[in-house]
Chains A and B, each alone.
Chain A
């Protein structure tokens, strides 16, 4: 323990005369000091609770929240293995083993929506993921600050729009009398009922996704670009690198960690394609390409009340997601030494 005298000498604010509770305060500081000095020497839980009980009380409500609204539903997934009766226990009534899993594995409809999910997720990864990188690199070459700022301000805007608004815009622009059909008519084509055509759904989904996310997606890349050391460009120039080569050998490696982290996150959410957006945009005519795992289980579970069957599908999807993100993370740690945690 540090002596009070020693403490007084080191902390000018801790004069006992000025503060009536100085002693207790000093003791607290002393505790904090020794704690920092003697790292590795751990206190017991009882000591920690006595000293930090106020901090622990701050944790009660948030942890209770996570327990009830995050972890209880995780446990609630047991109804994938149990028969569930609406009105009965939320954890189901009797064990039925893997019955519901066998049900969907043998369900041809399930594999259709599984395929649709993989295609939509894959297209997003392939097309929507690289766009912010390109836009950030283009913005990086702009010299007039006001112009750069203008492009940024405008391109961030769609990010703040509700998905319902985006869906509303999509319906209007792709409607029979909408802008796209006006262009089709102008080049002499017949109007296309885009929103009712299964072969157009993926194009519409991906383009609306790009519209909403490309601008906002540049932020992290632009942030990474500002951290690149200017001396690296100078050195590259002395070595005779032109602008293209500077971009290739300095700029891109500079934002590589950001790219990899975002790629991992994107791969992790690859199967969780925009449920809400698909739900708003699709209709029975576009089901052949639009119906994804999450919308399928929504109809089975919520609309038709097959809770256990839908939970089994949902659990399967969540496990795929977890596996994807863990393996993407492990892979990137091994290959490039960057990982999320």
Chain B
């Protein structure tokens, strides 16, 4: 059945089940409820605090930060730090790289994941369990850092976009989620398509994909967020600053600041201390797209995880 509207799933998660139990509340339970609310409010406060803190620092002047006086509210309010960071051409260059890497990597990943998932969702396909096994095995055993590094270098991917967009193109988790979704589509639809003379490719493009918008949106979001956040492949395979994604730009700011303050730690780049407010501004600008989109995309992620949990 095609009943995987993401809203409905997240509704189900939010349903209060305690109310349905209909036990008369004891005094002890009323105390518990109050404590419970308190604990959950505390959880929210702790979760949000770091975000509020970097936001406050990003608008504060450096003097107040080094004096340890900035927590929730900006002190010495200014937007000059924003102007400084945004005037840095390398920052925008790296931001643009992040965008390009994310879009290209997500597109490649979606093509490979969708075609693979569709083929292995056909129960009559001979060799199906072998193909599934080939994919699932990579979840539990992988080549490891050095053989991968040697491979990428041998392929000549160093300092190219391919080092970032190709090696992580199929996430087995996403693959299994999509496979589960395709398996649940009613078989009659595709039988009707076959009767109309559509071959496999056209059935996939014209019948199956239009019915799978919800799962496709979820998968695109899963991939896009993971590529947007990724830093290590670029850190490993890119030597030139103009090729970095913004996460590596940020990593270098943070690393510069720490080697400078750690006594006897770095030495070489002890001159590159980066002010906390500059770091904060860069962090704010990096998470901004995700935080802005977050309220709208959250339910898709939740439904994606649920789909995957049906049978992983």
Contact = CB atoms under 8 A, between A and B. Distances in A.
Interface of A: 11, 13-14, 19-22, 24-26, 28-29, 32, 35-36, 42-43, 45, 48, 52, 54-56, 58-59, 61-63, 65-66, 68-77, 79, 84, 90, 135, 138-145, 147-158, 160-165, 167-169, 171-173, 175-179, 181-182, 185, 193, 195-196, 211, 214-215, 219-220, 222-223, 225-226, 228, 230, 233, 237, 242-243, 246, 258, 261, 268, 276, 279-280, 283-285, 294, 297-298, 301-302, 307, 310-311, 314-315, 317-318, 321-322, 325, 340-341
Interface string B268-312: 000000001001100100110011001100100110011001001
Nearest to B193: A25
Nearest to B144: A314
Nearest to A16: B195
Interface stretch (B60-68, B76-84, B85-93, B210-218): B60-68
Given A20-B197, A283-B265, A285-B264, A297 B145 contact: yes
A144 B141 CA distance: 44
A151 B40 contact: yes
Contacts of B135: 66
From DSSP, what is the main secondary structure of chain A's interface residues?
helix
Nearest to B228: A162
Contact of B71 (A55, A182, A261): A182
Contacts of B125: 48, 52, 55
Nearest to B168: A69
B220 interface: no
A179 B51 CA distance: 13
Contacts of B21: 230, 233, 237, 243, 246
B195 A73 contact: no
Interface residues of B, number: 120
A77 B23 contact: no
Contacts of B66: 177
Given A52-B124, A69-B167, A325-B140, 5 more contacts: A77-B144, A142-B16, A162-B231, A219-B306, A228-B17
B250 A164 contact: yes
Given A59-B119, A164-B251, A169-B54, A179 B71 contact: yes
B240 interface: no
Nearest to B231: A164
B247 A164 contact: yes
Interface string B102-122: 000000000111011011101
B50 interface: yes
B135 to A, nearest CB: 6
B228 to A, nearest CB: 7
A48 B126 contact: yes
B159 interface: no
What are the 6 tightest A-B residue pairs by CB atom distance, in nearest-first order? Answer: A73-B143, A76-B147, A21-B197, A162-B229, A314-B144, A62-B116
26 contacts: A11-B191, A19-B197, A32-B124, A35-B124, A58-B116, A58-B118, A58-B200, A59-B131, A69-B166, A69-B167, A76-B143, A140-B18, A145-B15, A154-B44, A160-B225, A160-B294, A164-B248, A168-B254, A173-B50, A177-B66, A179-B53, A211-B46, A214-B43, A276-B232, A285-B263, A314-B147
Contacts of A143: 16, 18-19, 33
Interface in B140-170: 140-151, 154, 166-167, 169-170
Contacts of B151: 68-69, 72-73, 76, 90
Given A74-B141, A141-B32, A219-B13, A161 B147 contact: no
A177 B39 contact: no
B94 interface: no
B241 interface: no
Contact of A140 (B17, B26, B197): B17
A157 B145 contact: no
Contacts of A148: 14, 16
A165 B250 contact: yes
Which of B40, B46, B255 has most A Cβ within 10 Å? B40
A155 B43 CA distance: 8
Interface string B198-241: 01110010000000000000000000010011111000100000
